[in-house]
Amino acid sequence: MMVLKNIRLALVLIFCLFTAGKAFAQEGNEATARQVVENFQAELIAVMKNGKQLGYAGRYDKLYKPVSNSHDLTKIARIVVGKEWEKLSEAQQQKLVEVFNRFSVASYAHNFKDYSGESFVFDSEEETARGGFVVHSRLLIPDDKPVKFDYMLKEKGNSWRIINIIANGVSDLALKRSEYTSILQREGFDALIAKINEKIDTYSKQ
Amino acid sequence: MNKSCTCNRNAKIQQTFLSVLIVAVVFLSGCATTEVAEHHIANKADPYENFNRKIYVFNDTVDNYVAEPISDTYKWITPQFMQTGVFNFFNNLKTINVVINDVLQAKFKQSAEDAGRFALNTAFGLGGFLDVGKSVGLEQNDEDFEQTLAVWGVPQGSYLVLPLLGPSTWRGIPGVVFDTAANPVSYVGMPVQLIYMLNARANAEGALKFIDEAALDPYVFTRESFLQWRNNLATDGKSEAALDFDDELGWDEADSAAKGSDAATGNKAGQTLDLYPETR
C-alpha cells in the first residue's frame, strides 16, 4: 500500500515538474513579433479556405481566439476613442472594450469569408523608435494587385501584440480613431455603442 | 439657323444646371450656417466639415437615386468581358496623363515604362481593349497632377467635398482641371463620355459598398481613407506619417507630460496606455 502511495506521489511530482518545465520553456521561447503576425495570417488563410462551409458563425468562433491572442484589443479600443476615454465611466470603458472585441472578430469573419488563392508573404521587419515592431508583408491576390499589409506591434506582458494594421498606406487605427472620436463628440457614447452593435448585427446576417 | 438653335438650347441647359447648382449651394450653406453653432468640432484637415457634410449627403442622394441605378443597369446588361474591355480602354487613355505627370515629377524611367505600356496596349491590345502590358509584367503606375503638385511642394490645403465630384482638397481642384484637360475623353462626344462615367461608377462599386458595410460614420470614414490614400500615392508609399504608429500614441504622451508623469522620465507612451487595463 505504502509503495503504491509513493509511486503515485512520485508520478505527481514528475508530472508537476514536467509541466512546470514546459511552462518555463514556453516563457523562454516567446514568439517574436514576426511569428505573431505570421501565425495569425496562417489562421486567417485557414479560415478563408473553409470559409464557405464554416459560415459566418463558424468563422467567428474559429477566429475569436487567434484575433484576441494576437491583437491587443483593449489597448486599441482605448486608443480609438482618444482623449474621450478619460471622460467615460468605468462601466462605459468596460462596455466599449467588450463591444469592440466582438466587432473586431466580426469584421474579420465578415471580410475574410472565402478563398481564391490568396497568400501572405513576409517582406521585412523593423524596430520603431519607442520599442515597437513593424512587420511589413503583402497579401498576394491572383489576377490582382497585391495589397501591402504593415503590422504595428507592441509588447504586452511578455508577448507581442498587433496594435495597428496599415493596408496600402491606410491606417486602421487612425481611421477608427477619427470615426470613434467624431461620433462620441457629435452623438455621444450610447450612439457609438448602438452603431457598433448594428454593424455586428449586419455582419452576422450576410 | 439650326446650329444657333442647338447653341441656344445648350446655353439654356447650362444655365439651368448652373442655377440648380447655385440654389443647392445657397440652400446647403443656409443649413450649414444655422447648424454651425451646434458643433464646435474642428478637425485640422477639415475646417469646413459642416458644409462638406451637406455636400456629402447631396452627392450620396444623387448617387443612390441616379448614378447607382444607371450603373447597376450597365453592369447587368453588359457582359463581363465587355466591362473589362471598356475599363481597359479608358484606363489606357488615362496612361497619357500618367506619362505627362511621370515627366513632370522627373520620374523618367517610369515615364518610359508607362509610354511603352501605352504603345503596347494601343498597338497590340485592340486600341487598348486588352491589357497586354499587364500580361508581360508592366504594372501600371498611378500618377496624376495633384500628386505632381504635391511633389512640387504645393500644400494640400483643406479637405473639400465637391458637388457631384466627391472628396477632394484645395490642391485637388487644379489637379482635376489638369487631369481632365489631359484626358482625350474630354474632347469627344456625349456617348463616349457617358460610358466613361458608367465605367467609373461601376469600378467604384466595390469601394462604395465597403464603406457602406464598414463605416460607423461614412463621412468621416471616406474623408480619412481618402486623405490617407492620397498621401500614400503622393509619397509613393513611403509616407512615414502613416507608418509611424508612435505618432498615433502621441496624444497620450502629451497627456502624461501634462500630468508630469512618465514622459519626463523618458518612458514610452505605450506604457502609460498599458496601465489602464490593469488599474481597472
Tell me how far apart the alpha carbons of residues B56 and B64 are, in angstroms, rounded to a whole number: 12
Contact A147, A46 (CB under 8 A): no
CB contact under 8 A, A156 and B225: no
B210 vs B12, more confident: B210
d(CA B16, CA B7): 14
pLDDT band, very low/low/confident/very high, at B138 (cuts 50, 70, 90): confident
Interface with B, mutate which of A100, A123, A130, A172 (most B CBs under 10 A)? A130
Ordered mean pLDDT values, 10 residues apiece, chain A (206 residues)? 57 52 48 92 93 92 93 92 91 95 94 91 88 91 88 90 91 92 93 95 87
The helix or strand, by DSSP H or E, that contains position B257, with its residue range, turns out to be helix B250-258
Amino acid at B151: V
Least confident of A96-100, B172-176, B273-277: B273-277
Domains within chain A, CATH numbers bracketed? 2-204 (3.10.450.710)
Write out chain A residues lying below 8 Å of B243, CB-based.
Answer: 134, 150, 166
Q: What is the pLDDT of residue B180?
A: 92
pLDDT computed for residue B206 by the predictor: 85
Residue with cell 458643433: B39
Average pLDDT value for chain B: 77
pLDDT in tens, A113-153: 889 999 999 999 998 877 889 999 999 998 888 899 999 99
**In the predicted model, is pLDDT for residue B24 greater than 80?**
no
Provide mean pLDDT across the span B68-77. 91
d(CA A72, CA A188): 25
Contacts of A180 in chain B (CB under 8 A): 216
pLDDT at A7: 59
pLDDT for B2 beyond 50: no
Any idea where the domains of chain B sit in the sequence? 1-44, 47-259
CB contact under 8 A, B245 and A163: yes
The 10s digit of each residue's pLDDT in B142-161 is 999 999 999 999 999 999 99
pLDDT (0 to 100) of residue B213: 87
ipTM: 0.79
pLDDT of amino acid B247: 52
Q: pLDDT at position A131, please? A: 82
How many CA within 13 A on the CB side of residue B229?
Answer: 12
Q: Do A171 and B270 touch (CB under 8 A)?
A: no
Predicted confidence (pLDDT) at residue B239 exceeds the cutoff of 90: no
Contact A173 B245 (CB under 8 A): yes
User: Cβ B232–A74 below 8 Å, yes or no?
Assistant: no
Alpha carbon distance A180, A162 (integer Å): 19
Q: What is the pLDDT of residue B177?
A: 94
| Residue B255 CB partners (closer than 8 Å, separation 6+) | A83, B272
Helix (H, G, I), strand (E, B) or coil at A171: strand
pLDDT at B217 over 50: yes
